[in-house]
Structures are given as C-alpha cells and as structure tokens.
Structure 1
Amino acid sequence: PSLLAATLTSAGPVTSGIGVRMALEPGRGRTAVPVRSALAGTVVAIAALVAAAVFGASLAGLVGTPGRYGQNWDAELSTGFAAVPASLGAKVLSTVPGIAGYTEGNSGQLTIDGQLVPAIGVDPPPGSTGQGDDGGYLTMLAGRTPDGPDEIALGAQTLRAIHARLGETVRVAVNLATGIAGPGTERTMRVVGVTVFPDFGLQDLSDTDLGNGAVVPAALLTTTQANTRCVQGVTCYDFFLLRYRPGTDTAAATTRLLAAAAAVGCPFGACTVTSDQRPGEIKDYAAVSDTPLALGLVLAVLAVATVAHVLLTGVRRRRRDMAVLKTLGFTRSQVQGAVAWEATALAAAALLIGIPVGVVAGRWAWALFADPAGIASQATVNVPIVLLAIPVTLLLANVIAAWPGWTAARLRPATVLRAE
C-alpha cells in the first residue's frame, strides 16, 4: 500500500487519494495494473530526455562559443612563412582604428619525446606584465601559459600520447633557424599548462586541433630572415591575434589590414586574415549538433506513450473499481479527477526521480566525451529549461489523461457489475 495515497485519502479530497492509489498501487489479480514497470519506464524516458538535453546544450555551447575551443580573439593576421618584427606588425595594425588589442605569435613544429607535435609560440600582449598571463588569448584547462624559455603547455591529447602529466618534464627538439622540428637544439622543458587549441598551422605543416598541440614562448619558434630584418637575436612573428572593438566593421577592417600589409612589402596572397579558426573536430560536431535534439524528441514520445498506455490499461482493468465508485456516489467529474490525479502522480514521481538522474547522467556523458577530445569537461546545465520540463510534463500528463478519464466517466455501473 502507498503511504502517500493513504495520507491524501485521509487528509485531502477523495479524488486525489483514489488517483494516487491507482498510480502507485498495482492492485491484485486480473485487475492488476503494471504501475511499477510503467513508472520505471517513465523515469528512464525522462532521465534520458534530461541527459540528452544536458549533453545537447553542452555540445551547442562548445560549437557556438569560440572561447571554448580556444579562439579568444576576433581575427588572425597571418604573414605566412615571412615572419616580421613586432615593430613592423604594430605599424600595420595601427592602420585599423577598430583594433582594441592584439598579441603576437609563431607557428611551427616540435619533436616532443620523439613525437612530432604542431606548435605555436604566443607572447603576452603589449603592455602585459607577463608572468604566465597571456591576456586571456589562450584557453587553459589547467595550469598556466608558458612564461620562461624552458616552459611548455600541451593539449590533453598530446599529454596522453607522450605519457606525460602536468608538472613533469619532457624532451623538446626544435630547429631555431626555421622553427620546424628537426636536428637542432634539444632541451628539457617543464609542462606548466594544459591548453585547448583552435586551428593553427602553415602550409605543409600539421595543424593544431583541440587537444593536439603545444604552446611555447614565441622566441623558441622565431625564424631568421634578413629580408624582413629578422636576424639572430631578434624575435619575429608570423601571426597576430586581433580583438576588435564592439561595432567594428570586420570586412572593412580586413580590407585595410591586407592593404597595409601589402604596403610594407607582403607579397600578394601571402598575408591572410582569418576569423574562423574552428578545428576540424568542431566542424564535425557542428554537423551533428542536432542529433541530441532528435534523440530527445524520440524519448519524449516514448514517455508520452508510456503514460498513455498505463492510463488506458488502468481504466480498462479497473472498470469494476470505477463502477463501484460511481455506485457509491462518484460523479463523472470526480471519476475524471481521479484519473487526472493518477496521471499527475505518475508524472510527478517520474520527474522527482528522473530529473536528478538525468542531470547526473548528462554531466557524466559529457565528461566521457570531453576528456578524450581535450576540452573542458564542465557540462552546461540549462536550469530554466530543466525546470520548465516540470510544468510541461504535468500539463502533458493531464492532457493525456483527458481521454481515459472521459472513457471512465461514461462507464455504466449496472452493465459492468452485472456479472457480480
């Protein structure tokens, strides 16, 4: 027997007590109703629906928020393989009044513990105090950005590939003349951070990708090119990460940047401005971002079907109980109210269990997905949407109960009880 139903029967309207009893007590014999399996099925459907909503919101947040996949700037000005001094880059950037800030960097490759890894070198923005502060241009999952010549930050996938951990040291080889891995200076570097990478790379070099890549001080990847005044001891850069002021016409800014780069000698087509640096995985995820929504709709239909089935089955098997209630004085509206209370109790019990389980399952599923990908494992729980599921589910349950309730109210006691 249900303690809740007994309490409602003694303390509240008789329709509520009868309805809750029908929702939570299966009954006996040939009139028994599979309320426990129906409740379990509804709980599973609601939990799976909430889990799909949490996972879908997290995936949508990932593909729709550049900072979550590592792009914390509006555009990248790349000079290709023709690195330039910081002063020349500042001269070009000063021609665009909409630029609110920028930082310089280099692309290249490293050999880390025998494995070839795409790399970038990023210096603190002009005016920054340094000390591991990149002004928020890099998305760090743990630790900090490299500050000294013997510090390095890696993507989560790269860390796993070389079997290293945060705080450990790795052997790094880089050719200082070209910024490309090969026979050259080898050094021991300490892993000080775990980073998320957007798409960085030059032609014929492998690109960074979410959890795959390395970050070092830009000087480690600088090149020597006499024609651009990049000589030994001078740090030069092959890309600049730009942030625009709100309201800036990005198309016009791109045109002015390319014109200014050409004016200082950048060959046609060598300098480029890119605003979309989504990694390959992000583009793939964007193509399937609607899948959790479709799954959620299927699960919602499953939950509706489960509730409808148990209500119709309950009315059919409990025809004798309904007839006895009507004989004792139940009106049609009271019969309909009892069936509505049955649907409400069933939905409320399923929500009480299903929502917390669904949130936990969604966060767990996102963590399983995010950790191997090398992104933040913190799931996005859209609390208003989750809370909205409560009144929507209760309303839908009562809408579903309308037809079974109407059917039960039309029962003729004499016809049903004739066999008695």
Structure 2
Amino acid sequence: MKKSKVAGVFLFMVCLMVYLMFVKHHYSTYKPDSYRPPPHIQPGPHGFVSGDGHSFQYGIMFDAGSTGTRVHIFRFQMDSKGAPKLDHEMFRAIKPGLSAYADDPQKCSAGIKELLDVAKSSVPPSMWTRTPVVLKATAGLRLLPGQKADQLLDTVRVLFQESPFMSREDGVSIMDGTDEGISAWITINFLTGGLHGADLPTVGMLDLGGGSTQITFSPHQEKTIQTSPVDSIRSFQMFNKTHTVYTRSYLGLGLMSARFDILRGVRAPPAPPGGSTELLSPCLPPEFSGRWEHADVIYTLKGQKPGEPVYEACLSKVEKVLYRKVLKLSEARDIDFYAFSFYYDCAVDLGVIDEKQGGTIRVSDYMDAAKRVCSSLSSSPPQSPFLCLDLVYISVLLQELGFPPHTQLRLVRTINQVETSWALGATFLYIESLKKH
C-alpha cells in the first residue's frame, strides 16, 4: 500500500514536470499575431517616426476671422520625395472674433489660451517644441485702425511665445487677400490630388467673402502671364516643385461691401456722423422697409414703389458698381473651378445644391435665378430681402471675371471630411518657409 502511494506521487511529479516543460517550450516559440502590439510612435530628429518608418509633422493654424477664431491642428505623414499625407485634423472654434476686443486687447487672452489648450491635448508633449503655431488674421483685423490691430496681434504674440510650441515673430500676422487666395488654392489642389505629382491637372479657386473676393488658378497660356499685372503672377515652392499661379484679390468687392455700394449708389458719399442713413434701392422688394447694420452703422432700407422693372433697374446698379473694377480672363473658361463662401450659400438658398453635400452650378443658373427672384418680388418676397441683389451681383461678377453663362462651377465645403478653407494651404506654406531657415 505504501509502495503504491509512493509510485503515485512519483508519477504525478513526472507528469507535472512534462507539462511544465511543454508550456515553457510552447510560449518560447509561439507568439500569436492577434496580440502583437501596434507600432508605437517615437520622436525622431525630423518629427514623429512610427514603427513602420513613417515620419510625422504637426502644424497649428489659428484662423482669426471677423466673427470668430478657429484653431486647426494638422498631423501630416511626411514624404521626403513628394506631397505629405494629411493623417488627422482637429479643430475648435470660439466667438467673437479678435476685432471685438479692439478697445481692450487683453480680453482676447482667455479665448486664445483655451484654443492653445486644445492644441496641447492634440499634440504629443514630446513634439511641442517642434510644432509651429501660427495665427493669420483676415477681414476683421484688416478693417481696424492700424494701432488697434497691432495691439491685438502683440497680445497673441506674447501668448504664443509663452506656450510650449515653436513660435516665431512672423507667426502672428494679418493675411493679405493675395496670400489668402494662394493658400485656398493650395488647399483645394492638395485635397483633389493636383499637388501630389500625378498627372491630375490643378483646378482654379473662386472665393466670395464679405469684404473681398479672390480668384486663383495656374495659367497654361503664355498670354495670360504676359498680359496680367506683374503682382498677379506669383511663383512659390511646394512639395519640391515650383508652382506659378495667377491670383488677384479685390478688396471692397466682397458681397457685404458690394451690397452697401449697390444700395447707396456708386457716387453717394458715406453717411456722415449724424447724417441720413436711409438707403433706397430698386434691388429690394417694392415698399420694403427694414434695418441693416454695416461697418457699425445701422441703416434704414426701403424698396421703391411697385411697378418698377426690378431686375433691369437692379442690373443697371450692379453693372455701375462693377464697371472696370475687375480683369476679364479669357483662359478662365477653360479651367475647372471650385467656388466657396457666398457662391455656396446663395446656391443653397436657391435649393440648387444640398447644404452639406454641395454640388455643381452653372453661371446661367445664377443669372436665371436672379431674373426669376427679382421679377417676383412684388408677388412673393423671398425670405431674404437681399436675395435679388446678391444673385444679380454674383451673376455679373462671374461674367466680368471671364466666365460665360455655360461655365459649370463646383461647390464644396469639405473634401474627404477636410474643410476647403485657406488654413491647410497656409500651414503648408509656413512649414515650407521653416525649411528655408
């Protein structure tokens, strides 16, 4: 009995030893793929380097507009031979715009710090000192007196220098209309593939803002380059390739500025302090009466008496405002153009495109809609009293720029879920400038 117990214990120990040897051998030779950890991204000399050898670069762009400030945090997968890939975008917006703090610049600090905190949470700490932070201000600060604009920019500049990100003196500035047009052109062509070294042609860009309007495209005809004003032809380096574009910004021909000039008449002086602020226009619904604020002045708007030929009278007013104000480009008709901002919004108001998906529209669609809306003002006033005026203005502006009625424009707000704003293009331009230093 005693011998059998000893034999049983011995057999158990042998089995246990065999089992442990098997387990050890199994786990030393078998590593299941399903539990392999994802490549960990580590800091490298030129940005992030992932386990598969890809290099990453971050960029932070503050878009300081007239109604608000938005931060874009981009992460790029870099390619030393060609265009990078946009790997991720994070953005956040706050209101009001910087110009609202013109009389007390320090009050803008809280909002800027809030957006800097968003950037800190989006960029790995090990990359903070190698990530440029930039602010570009547009229409809101352009319209401020120089000293007030400078004080706001100085306040932001100090906050950027105190942040952990890479900040240079030129990282806070007011963007001129030409740079805005070029940056938007870079964005749209990056997103559509025209800058990726493939055989895809580049596309043109049309932007109709509140205070200004821009047109930018890459000319193929030598005639365009030879006959255009010198300051309208710009060359720049992008992704190891030189690009030459025609770009022009027309300050004062944005939709809000144009509304004012059309309503008051081209020869009428601005209303003096305490003077009349009543504007009478055939572009408004007959017998319409309302109030409109422009440049911190509240105007009383009135339409003319019923029975007047609204479309014809409004067309005449618009043509006088635009007379010899823009350059007509014959080559524009041969290039595919994307159009943004108020071109998009008016098409949405007409129901021609979906508000989220966008679509296409012909110049003749704006023209036909202008005739239809203006002619029906007496019987069925539109939801917006400015729709007749806006449509007439857009249809005339496009023709003055060189687009015949049959021209088709593409209207989009995003491509591959990335906004088609100038922010992405401006970030690329800034990163390119860092390479030169």
TM-score normalised to structure 1 length: 0.22
Structure having the higher strand fraction is 2
TM-score normalised to structure 2 length: 0.22
Higher relative contact order (CA 8 A, sep 6+): 1
Structure having the higher helix fraction is 1
Structure with the greater alpha carbon radius of gyration: 1
